[in-house]
Each structure stands twice: as C-alpha cells, then as structure tokens.
C-alpha cells in the first residue's frame, strides 16, 4: 500500500478486529464450552442406563469413569463461572480503550494513509494489548477444566461406539443365539485368500462367535466403468466359534508414514467352516 492511498482499508480492518475482540472479551466460547461439558456430564448416567437396557454387558469400567468424571464437578463449575465473571469485568477497561481508539479513526476516513498513520498506530497498540489480555484470560480459565473436558469427550466417544455397535446388531440379517452377548463390532473389508479387494461389511465379535456380515451397495450394471445400477446387499458370509480361533494377528498398513488401515489376520480350526 502506497503513501498516497487513503486509510479506509486499514481503519475497516481495525474495526473488524475490535468487534471480534469485544466478542472474545465476553468469554462467550469459554461459557459455551462449560455449559456443553455440564450437559454432557449430566447425561452420562442416562446414556449408560440406556446402553445397559439395550443388553450391552461389557466395558464395566464405563460406570467407574462416569463416576470419576462427576466427582468434584460442581465445585469446578462454580469456580470456573466465578473466574469467568471476574476476568470479564477486569477486561472491560481495556476493551473500552480499544473502542475509543478505533472510534477516533472515523475522522480519518477518506484521508491519506500517511495522515492517519499515528492514530492507526495508537489504535493498533491498544488492540494488541487487549488481545493479549483476552488470550491470557481464555487460556487461564480453559486450563481449569481442560482435562475434565478431554476425559468427558473420550468417555462420550466410547459410549457412541457402543451405541453404534448395538445399532448394527439391531439391523443384522442373522439371528443371535439365546444368551449370546455382543462384545464389539467394526466396519471391515474381507480380503478373502489375501486378495486386495473383497466384500465390505461388519465384523461382529460376541461371547460365542465371530461373524462377518456383508453390508454394501453393489453395482449390478455398468457402462464404460460407470455404475448405472446398484443394489444394497446384506447377508452373513461366514461365522466361526470363538473357541475355534487359533491365531489372531493385527498389523498396520502405512503409506509414507500415514496410517491407511489395520489388517487383521484370523486363523481358525475345525469345526469352523472358514479357515
């Protein structure tokens, strides 16, 4: 930008920064995170009850984790809210100085950048100082519940995974035996006989057997390698008793240090029909 250009662009940029800073100074994002975490923790008991009522009997450590997360939370929440209010009030003077400095730039609109340079510098200095205060406040308050938030997110992910497994169980094309309990399930591709491609579906592990069910959209018509018609295919391709599993080996497949997939090799003995 040359000296003979007017100051409008620089002034507009500082005005945008000041508006954003005012919003950040209210610590809105921190307040929202705190409320979201409070809701998550409040819902854990109900989600665990639903999980057990749907018949999932494994991962008993989930209840212990939920209990540990709830311990002391009321006190932490109270302290964080108090800190938010105190920090927010303490930053009001800095934010008001920024507002006055930026408002004073109105008289320089349409004038040369050189004429406004000193006023722009003062406003920018006030902005930088206030931004440091706001950033420090956000970091300090965030550190008061960061770990609790991370632990809650990890537990929520566990619950989401278990619920997803139960949804797959509910939609399975095969029946489960009396007393059979699901342990885990995962989306998979069956690379039969070491082939690079194979049917996609769900690999189920129960306390009695391993089952692979194909679940995918399969092309029924193609024209010049373009699929013109397809159908949903869902059927059990194989099952094997857990007791027939002789060996299981998991290896990571990587390309240029990037994880691409995990290859699970299962070897069965009789009476399993799949080897």
DSSP 115-157: HHHHHHHHHHHHHHHHHHHHHHHHHHHHTTTHHHHHHHHHHHH
Q: Is the bond preceding 271 in cis, omega lying within 30 degrees of 0?
A: yes
Domain with CATH 2.30.29 in the chain: 171-268
Question: What local confidence, expressed as pLDDT, does residue 194 receive?
Answer: 67
Residues 267 and 247 sit within 8 Å (Cβ to Cβ): yes
Asked whether the predicted pLDDT for residue 179 surpasses 70, the reply is yes
Question: What local confidence, expressed as pLDDT, does residue 132 receive?
Answer: 93
pLDDT averaged over every residue in the chain: 90
Out of 2.70.98, 1.10.3470, 2.30.29, 3.40.50, select the CATH number for domain 171-268: 2.30.29
pTM, two decimal places: 0.80
Q: What is the pLDDT averaged over residues 32-38?
A: 97
In angstroms, the CA 131 to CA 143 distance is 18
pLDDT band of 12, cuts 50, 70, 90: very high
Asked whether the predicted pLDDT for residue 2 surpasses 60, the reply is no
Axis crossing angle, helix 8-25 with helix 92-103, rounded to the nearest 10: 160
Q: How far is CA 76 from CA 45, 82, 105, in A?
A: 19, 10, 43
Asked whether the predicted pLDDT for residue 180 surpasses 60, the reply is yes
In angstroms, the CA 42 to CA 63 distance is 13
């Amino acid at each position: 930008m040359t000296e003979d250009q007017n100051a409008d662009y620089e002034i507009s940029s500082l005005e945008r920064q000041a508006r954003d800073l005012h919003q950040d100074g209210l610590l809105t994002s921190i307040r929202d995170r705190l409320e979201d975490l409070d809701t998550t923790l409040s819902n854990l008991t109900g989600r665990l009850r639903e999980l057990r009522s749907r018949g999932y009997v494994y991962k008993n450590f989930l209840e212990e984790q939920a209990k540990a997360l709830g311990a002391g939370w009321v006190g932490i929440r109270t302290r964080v809210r108090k800190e938010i209010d105190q920090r927010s009030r303490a930053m009001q003077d800095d934010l008001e100085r920024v507002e006055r400095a930026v408002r004073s730039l109105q008289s320089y609109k349409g004038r040369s950048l050189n004429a406004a340079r000193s006023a722009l510098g003062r406003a920018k200095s006030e902005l930088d100082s206030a931004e440091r205060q706001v950033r420090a406040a956000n970091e300090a308050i965030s550190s008061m519940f960061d770990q609790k938030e991370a632990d809650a997110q990890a537990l929520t992910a566990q619950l989401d995974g278990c619920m997803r497994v139960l949804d797959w169980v509910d939609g399975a094309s095969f029946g489960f035996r009396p007393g059979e309990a699901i342990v885990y399930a995962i989306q998979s591709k069956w690379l039969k006989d070491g082939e690079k491609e194979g049917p996609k579906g769900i690999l189920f592990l129960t306390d009695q057997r391993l089952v692979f069910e194909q679940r995918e959209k399969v092309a029924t018509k193609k024209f010049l390698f373009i699929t013109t018609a397809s159908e949903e295919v869902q059927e059990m391709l194989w099952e094997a008793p857990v007791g027939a599993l002789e060996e299981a080996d998991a290896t990571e497949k990587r390309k240029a240090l990037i994880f691409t997939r995990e290859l699970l090799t299962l070897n069965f003995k009789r009476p399993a029909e799949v080897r």
